[in-house]
Amino acid sequence: MHELALAEGILEVVLDMTQGRPVKGIHLQVGALHAVVPESLQFSFQVIAQDTLAAEAALSIDQVHAVFQCNHCGEMTDVETPPYNCRSCGSSDVAISAGDELLVDSIELEDGTTISKPTPTDAALIDGHLKEHMVSNKGFVDHRDVA
């Protein structure tokens, strides 16, 4: 289900970047903290993108390692997969410094053109989209009684 929400955010960014041109491939950078299963994300994307110009696009995913610092002993740990515990003392009380990335790195069009826009804006767009979803899933605060 997690991948479905990510796929929606990715599609939104991709369609915005390609402006109505058919998409052949999408290169993503996904931090380990998103715990994305590439096959699952590809499948979710195909479901979401059907009937759009990105329907045939193949995703290629660069996994970014999770990097964090232990709040107990200060040790830096760098891992690809959970658990996200300090490798020195085993504490789970850590401060994340990398691994929560989610970027559309570049897009390959049917005509061979590559669109590259590796800016933080893309990550912000996807994150913003996900936050909207989280808010709507939790329901809105009803202000009617306040007035």
Stretch that binds Zn ion, among 48-56, 60-68, 83-91, 116-124 (CB under 5 A): 83-91
Stretch that binds Zn ion, among 39-47, 62-70, 111-119, 138-146 (CB under 5 A): 62-70
Per-residue x/- marks for Zn ion, 19-58, CB under 5 A?
Answer: ----------------------------------------
Stretch that binds Zn ion, among 21-29, 48-56, 72-80, 110-118 (CB under 5 A): 72-80
Per-residue x/- marks for Zn ion, 89-128, CB under 5 A?
Answer: x-x-------------------------------------
C-beta closer to Zn ion: residue 85 or 106: 85
Decide if residue 86 touches Zn ion (CB under 5 A). Answer: yes
Question: What's the per-residue H, E or C state across the chain?
Answer: CHHHHHHHHHHHHHHHHHCCCCEEEEEEEEEHHHCCCHHHHHHHHHHHHCCCCCCCCEEEEEEECEEEEECCCCCEEEECCCCCCCCCCCCCCEEEEECCCEEEEEEEECCCCEEECCCHHHHHHHHHHHHHHHHHHHCCCCCCCCC
Q: What distance in Å separates the CA atoms of residue 55 and residue 72, rounded to the nearest whole number?
A: 47
Q: How far is the CB of 63 from Zn ion (least distance, A)?
A: 24
Q: What distance in Å separates the CA atoms of residue 62 and residue 29, rounded to the nearest whole number?
A: 5
Quick one: DSSP state of residue 100? -
Q: How far is the CB of 95 from Zn ion (least distance, A)?
A: 11
In the block, tokens 């929560």 appear at: 100
C-beta closer to Zn ion: residue 88 or 116: 88
Residues in contact with Zn ion by CB under 5 A are 70, 72-73, 75, 86, 88-89, 91
